[in-house]
Amino acid sequence: MSNPNTSDRIELMQTFIRIVESGSLSAAAAQLGTTQPTISRRLQTLEQRLGLKLILRTTHALKLTDDGERCYAQARQLLATWHALEDELTGASDDPVGTLRVRAPHAFGQDQLIAPLVDYLRRYPRLNIEWMLNDRTPDFMAENIDCAIQVGAPTDPSVVAILLAEVPRIVVASPGLLARHPPIEQVEQLRDLPWLALTSFYRNEVALQKIDDGQPVNLAITPRLSSDSLYAVRKAALAGMGAAIVSSWVVQQDLAEGRLVQLTPQWQAPPLPIWLTYPWASYYPARLQHFFTMIKAVMPQLAGTRPATAARRQAEPEE
């Protein structure tokens, strides 16, 4: 075994940052693809080299010492400077290298975004991407995520948020369900139907807007089935279990082939904004900068999305 005192200084700093941001030695080991004893040895080596105690370990948590707090801030800046130098010297600005960790929503992440992602990877053969599908808001630091594509408005004011596009949403139901109820002629009649709820965006009330003048209407519903999966809600709608508000792209073919019917087409749910979010940093590696450029260009052109409205763009936070 090599002497831990010969460990690379940059590696020691990266390990220390991962320990702090992930919250534990075991989480840092998992994210760095190594073992907890290795992480512990690296931390001991760094503390020995600096002659300082950086982290106090208790049975339940890690706590940074005052020296640890200063070391963490300096280490992040040092790593940013190192990555900038590395990119410049290796030509990574033109040919990104390394691994990019991206969080994307389930539906978009396994459908429309795969083709542009594959094109992007083919363009840059030295780049790898960890493509993690999850609809919840990520904890960028603790989960070691570089950036995220989020549907719906970001709630964390500390992250950078770029508005990419928006997704139109419509009310649909199966012909079988509609045959069991009086014809829907007024928007208020929608409340008389059985409903399905997509819990990420609505639960016990649906909000609609009139297309021509933006007039709003809110209708109370009691869902027969609630799910956080767009695909599950679509399947239940196809089975005649209830009406639902869904992203129009996911039911395009169902509508064309008559398996679903759009209800009150003059009333639609407000479109969902799609955001690119990432933590602020003094330097972004080339692999991240190139991904930002690609996703900004691709997202408004995808099937089922459209460029964000002027009102939404004006509300976009500045970088």
Q: Please give the structure tokens belonging to residue 266.
A: 């003059």
In the structure, what pLDDT confidence band is assigned to residue 91 with cuts at 50, 70 and 90?
low
7-21, 82-96, 106-120, 242-256: range with highest mean pLDDT: 242-256
Q: What angle do CA 6, 12, 14 make, to 5 degrees?
A: 150
Please tell me the distance from the alpha carbon of residue 113 to that of residue 302, in angstroms, as a whole number. 8
Which residues of the chain form CATH 3.40.190.10? 98-161+274-312
Helix (H) or strand (E) holding 50: helix 36-50
Helix %, strand %, coil % of the chain (to 5): 40, 25, 30
C-beta separation of 101 from 144 below 8 A? yes
Q: What angle do CA 259, 265, 267 make, to 5 degrees?
A: 130
Please tell me the distance from the alpha carbon of residue 227 to that of residue 205, in angstroms, as a whole number. 14
CATH 3.40.190.10 for domain 98-161+274-312, yes or no, is yes
CATH architecture of 9-90: Orthogonal Bundle (1.10)
| Whether the predicted pLDDT of 152 surpasses 50 | yes
In the structure, what pLDDT confidence band is assigned to residue 29 with cuts at 50, 70 and 90?
confident
Q: Taking the domain 167-272, which CATH number applies?
A: 3.40.190.290
Chain centroid to CA 80: 23
What residue type is assigned to position 57 of the chain? R
Return the closest-CA partner of residue 124 out of 100, 108, 148.
100
Which residues of the chain form CATH 3.40.190.290? 167-272
For residue 104, the model assigns a pLDDT of: 93
| Whether the predicted pLDDT of 172 surpasses 90 | yes
Which residues of the chain form CATH 1.10.10.10? 9-90
